Structure 1
Amino acid sequence: MLLFLLGGFEMKHMNSRWIISLAVAGVVAFAACGVADEVAAGKEPANLEQMKQRLYVDLGSNVGEPVTSGNVYNAANEFTPPVSCADGIGGSDLSFKWTAPQSGSYTFSTLGTGSLLDSVLHIYTFSENSATALLGCNDNADAPYPIVSSSVTLMNLAAGAQIRIVVDSYEPPTSRNGAFKLNIVPNFILCPSAPSECRVSPGTWTQNGCVYPPKAAGTQCNDGNACTTSDVCDGAGACGGQPLTCANTANATASSCSAGSCTITACAAGWANCDGVYSNGCETNLNSSDNCGACGSHCGSPNICSGGTCAACAAGWANCDGVSSNGCETNLNSSDNCGACGSHCGWPSSCVGGTCELSCDVCDNGLECCAPKRCGYAPNGSSICK
């Protein structure tokens, strides 16, 4: 039921049916809740007092100064203020349901221009059928008299907590001095931090949650990406910049930005970025003995690197200098490299078929002369082995 003027009500029994009539009270554009089912069914309420207390205005989770305005003139006297904060039984009143949007402290008051009601404010844990779990109450917020407004601060309300706020009168008011404004003010910032640097902070609380308006397009910001430059807001709440461009260096075929620095992501075939430095490109030839097919893949002597693969030399030859570019340069049938790199055959031996053997000569007389003897000449000039 949508009420624009809400006040007290009375119940009449006519033709075996109960009718609820609402007396004009104040300008309140909210839904009056709780009685629709029993009224629509045409059933007599089981408990008249409970039925009266189930009529309230649901304020949702709205906050502000004021959240709503009203007038208790000619409204029903449904609630009695606690004796702890009022010295009378009270008069006509209106009640409201409210849900805390976030955990924290809130102040509820009838302070403000146009709030003429000599009010008593009492607040309870919300229940459809009762108002007994008192959370706080107040008669004159700014005593001494004639200040007639009321104010209650509730500490440590949990998010989602539902309460019933009763705006009561000290005595039956006239139409003029029954007017009130109900304020609900959080004692903290409801929307402190925007989700984006390109939105205004603090934000504004609405019934649907926090709203953070976008900053103007072109506002400087930081999108958190080290690989963009000249970051600005786009006017819709997002921050962005121009991507950092990384040119390909020597033998590189693809480069990109990572953590604010350019890196090589692909090299030309046969080359690699073994030192990890962007500026000198893919500096390493992968057809070398120390980097054969991959960085640090070493082809030990006597092998060579051929097409990125370590390969053996032909029989009788070896890569003794470890340089792949000149191939298997060493003959292993030599006195200094006999059968293996650095294997030396000293006199009187010589390298024969890759093996060190004693050296033999044929003297002029046709006789073989083997070390340690040598061919020579006798005093008469004849060839001898001595």
Structure 2
Amino acid sequence: MLAGCGPGLSEGREGFGTAAGDEVGESGSESETETETETESETETETETETETETETETETETETETETETETETETGPSCTVDVELGDAASLEWFDTIEATPSEYTLECGGFGSEKTFGWTAPAAGEYRIETFGATLDVVLGLLGDCEGPELACNEDIGPWTLDARLIRNFAAGESAVFVVDSLFPGTEGEFGLRVSTSDCPEQVLSGPLPIQVNGSTVGASDEYGSQSICGGTDTGDHAYAFTAPEAGTYTFDTIGSSYETSLWAFEGLCGTDIIDCNHGFDGPTSFLSLELGAGETVTVAVDGWFGAEGDYTLNVRKLEEVPASCPEQVLPSVVPLDVDGTTVGAANDFSDECGGEIAGDRSYRYTAPEAGTYSFSTVGSGFDTTLSLGSSCGDAAPLCNDDIDWFTTDSRLVVDLGAGESIILVVDGHTPTPGPFELHVETISCANESAPSTTSWTLEGSTSAGFDKVGSPCGGDAAPDWVVEWTAPESGTFRISTVGSSYDTALHARVGGCNGSVMACNDDGTGSGAGGVGFASLIEVQAVAGQSVFIAVDGKGSDAGDFVLSLERACDPLAPDCPRGETCGRDGDTFVCQPGPPLSEGEACGGLFCGASCGLCEPGAVCVSGLDHPACGVSCCDRSCDLDAPDCGPGEVCTPALGGVEAAPWHGDVGFCL
């Protein structure tokens, strides 16, 4: 262990310092006789003094030169500072220690705000070394410094998401010294840890040459270089690491198709880095898969590992996804409807993938041109494997629509889209897993809407989604549930409230304009407050429509839920500009306002319960029902003068305050306030 900083004096040089002048003086005029003249004495004394002074100067210069040489030598051979523990120069070692809650001296780039322990170490030979903590009882950060004063060369906070330990892998030159800092992530924490230094075999191989690349190996008896306690496994399991540099920018895939055991795959930044980019286990049974977006010349390290102790023979495949597959489309379909096509993905190339799957499965691509305008259904019902289906405008564009399973109980796929006469699309039949098989592709036209609602401002319909299928999907649930679409034409412009209060299952509800694939106007899974009738599984939306506009309302289900539904529509209103029919008043109903029949109440009168939901009373025009939670002077609730938060017109000393406090109101009701 180093005891201090800086060089000491060389042996035999003690005393060469500020007393040198006194020593010179003592060897001067005492040797001269008293009869010598004063001039001769002064001359000899000055001569001797100058001679000794020159000698002393040369000696001091030599001393300083030797001292600087010693300092340079110490700087080259190790850190010229004090560390807590000097580990020496062993290529393989383990050290057990404790971090106590003492003041922090280091804060590393990747964290470490608590106390720490520092270790000095020198590489005995050139090569790659792994420095890591193990068995830590506190969350540690591991830093690598060139010296106690820096610079910081590397830092790691966690090996994986579920571990407290850290790891660094780095190349060292023979005789190169470094300081390891084991820091606690959080201040005031204490605990034990082990520190291990060992040589590393990373990378096992550098992957190069034309793509695709395939390598075979075995993890039986391999050392555990990269495994950690995480969702991807790898703890106490041998692994092999491969370095790969992207020859050009693009999407590269890595998989273990053909391996004999349950693998896991890791991707790390740089050459044998420790920062995890991604990991995967169980993509399809024992197969693991990673897809990485890499820049030209970017290097990653991919480790083939095992799922919690699994080991065996593996195959690692690397390929680049082409932006425009040369074989697309493989076939042009007849421009007729209905149309049935039989095919197989056995022996097909893997040219496509999308967010629904297909990353490691063969696929078939088709061009289809709609013979007439309409709503088209494309499905793989009756196929012999787990399909995915995607649809795009051209081979080089990302598919805007895709589907894996029609519902949770089938592996068939279906897409519904509106097409114009003569409009062409690219269809891709792909696989969710690597297993290929025969498929059936069906093309047919369907009606987007299952039924039409009355073109009135208030109506109620009842039905069931159990016999339907997923035609339109939903941005707030219903991706795997059958739906029922109702087309309604607005008889006048205004805001309308649509709900599924009274339905027998967990509904999802949304509205679109422009057909089944048009833009979404509003979407809701579970309505909030008493505005949904107090039924948490019912759905509630508000839409703004103009007279003559067709709105497609889709009753869907949460997840794959289906059942009997009640769908109702009524006219909402704006209390700042009420326009309800004669005999009705714009009254508050939970987080919205609707036209309701009944006599209105005057300003100051009690108008409902504390939360002022479905039981809110009706206030006269120019007033709004306010909960006592927002207006303490009201008591439980009362009608108070309304105001526009965007243009308040309250009296002196009054403040325009939000009237819908505590609820999530529709955007067009966000300006409703009351004068407080």
TM range (shorter): 0.3 to 0.5
Q: Which has the higher helix share?
A: 2
Larger radius of gyration: 1
- Which structure ranks higher in relative contact order (CA pairs < 8 Å, sequence separation ≥ 6)? 1
